[in-house]
Amino acid sequence: LQQVGAGEGAVSIVAWPGYIERGETDKSYDWVSQFEKDSGCKVSVKTAATSDEMVALMNDGGFDLVTASGDASLRLVSGGRVQEINTSLIPSWGKVDKRLQNAPWHTVNGKHYGVPYQWGPNVLAYNTDAFKGQAPDSWKVVFEETTLPDGKSNKGRVQAYDGPIYIADAALYLKSTKPDLGIKDPYALNRDQFNAALELLRGQRQLVGRYWHDAGVQVDDFTKEGVAASSSWPYQVNLLQFNKQPIASVVPKEGATGWADTTMMAASAPHPNCSYKWLEWSLNPKLQGDLAAWFGSVPSVPDACKGNELLTDAGCATNGFDNFEKIAFWKTPTADCGDGKTDCVPYYEWVTSYIAVIGGR
Residue 254's contacts (CB-CB under 8 Å, 6 or more residues apart) are 138, 139, 172, 173, 175, 176, 177
Number of structural domains the chain divides into? 2
Q: What is the CATH number of the domain that holds 305?
A: 3.40.190.10
Instruction: Taking residues 33-47, report their average pLDDT.
Output: 98
Say if residue 160 is in the same domain as residue 69: no
pLDDT for 318: 86
> How confident is the model over 269-289, as pLDDT tens digits?
999 999 999 999 999 999 999
pLDDT for 335: 93
Please check whether residue 168 lies inside any domain of the structure: yes
Say if residue 206 is in the same domain as residue 338: yes
Please check whether residue 65 lies inside any domain of the structure: yes
Please check whether residue 314 lies inside any domain of the structure: yes
Say if residue 309 is in the same domain as residue 338: no
Instruction: Taking residues 331-344, report their average pLDDT.
Output: 91
Say if residue 293 is in the same domain as residue 204: no
Say if residue 133 is in the same domain as residue 267: no
> How confident is the model over 290-316, as pLDDT tens digits?
999 999 999 999 999 999 999 999 999
pLDDT for 338: 84
Say if residue 79 is in the same domain as residue 188: no
pLDDT for 132: 95
Q: Model pTM?
A: 0.88
pLDDT for 133: 85
Please check whether residue 245 lies inside any domain of the structure: no
pLDDT for 119: 97
- Residue 361 pLDDT > 80: no
Say if residue 194 is in the same domain as residue 273: no
Instruction: Taking residues 164-190, report their average pLDDT.
Output: 97
> How confident is the model over 88-121, as pLDDT tens digits?
999 999 999 999 999 989 999 999 999 999 999 9
- Residue 206 pLDDT > 90: yes
Average pLDDT in the chain: 95
Q: How far apart are CA 192 and CA 33, in angstroms?
A: 51
Please check whether residue 1 lies inside any domain of the structure: no
Please check whether residue 252 lies inside any domain of the structure: no
The DSSP code sequence of 10-24 is EEEEEE-TTSS-BSS
275: alpha, beta or left, given left = phi > 0 and alpha = psi -120 to 50? alpha
Residue 225 CB neighbours (<10 A): 14
Strand pairing report for 247-250 and 123-127: antiparallel
Structural domain span for residue 108: 10-120+258-328
Cβ–Cβ under 8 Å, residues 311 and 298: no
Say if residue 31 is in the same domain as residue 77: yes
Nearest to 114 by CA among 152, 72, 156, 173: 72
Q: Percent of the chain having pLDDT more than 70?
A: 100
Please check whether residue 162 lies inside any domain of the structure: yes
The DSSP code sequence of 55-99 is HHHHHH---SEEEE-HHHHHHHHHTT-B----GGG-GGGGGS-HH
Say if residue 305 is in the same domain as residue 177: no
Q: What is the CATH number of the domain that holds 228?
A: 3.40.190
Q: How far apart are CA 319 and CA 300, in angstroms?
A: 12
> How confident is the model over 60-97, as pLDDT tens digits?
999 999 999 998 999 999 999 999 999 999 999 999 99
Please check whether residue 55 lies inside any domain of the structure: yes
- Residue 170 pLDDT > 90: yes
Say if residue 135 is in the same domain as residue 105: no
Say if residue 106 is in the same domain as residue 139: no
- Residue 265 pLDDT > 90: yes
Say if residue 213 is in the same domain as residue 351: yes
